[in-house]
Amino acid sequence: MVIGSSEKVLTSQLDEARKVCALVVDDDPTVRRIHGMLLTRHGWEIEVAENGKEVVDLFLAGKSFDLVLIDLEMPVMDGLKATKELRAMGVNSMIVGVTACKVEAKKEAFMGAGLDYCWEKPLNGGAVVSMLDELAKKLL
């Protein structure tokens, strides 16, 4: 992915304005670590959760995040149900689904739950920069 100069400007403006806080949600600790490292490399502050219920509980407890990076398939509560609940609660954070699922109907249902974007996992640096640029447009 080629990042244009306008995107780099947005990213640097956001970096100067404030720290971006993300919640990485995945039942696989290796994926949480990889995605967390990608985000922290770009200056993001991160927290992690293992399933959708933990995400919903965090927001119910008053926590907020600029970005929720959430897996589709997890035990306890999957990403689709958690995303629906977050949107029903009025959460307007950017929610990005991340999945290894190859079934298009499942990915479409996940998007329909209220995602802003859906990416295949594991993420790469280009995807993270793209998310930061989109978030910068929303926050600046």
d(CA 91, CA 86): 5
What the block records as the tokens of 1 is 């992915």
Q: Is 1:126 a contact under the CB 8 Å cutoff? A: yes
Tens of pLDDT along the chain (140 residues) come to 333 333 443 444 445 555 778 999 999 999 999 989 888 887 789 999 999 999 999 999 999 999 999 999 999 999 999 999 999 999 999 999 988 888 888 889 998 999 998 888 877 777 777 777 777 777 66
pLDDT of residue 3: 33
What the block records as the tokens of 108 is 């479409």
Distance from first CA to last CA of the chain, Å, rounded?
Answer: 23
pLDDT of residue 9: 37
Structural domains of the chain sorted by starting position, each given as residue range(s) with its CATH number in brackets: 21-139 (3.40.50.2300)
What the block records as the tokens of 101 is 């699922």
What are the φ/ψ torsions at residue 57 (nearest 5 degrees)? -60, -40
Tens-place pLDDT, residues 42-53: 778 999 999 999
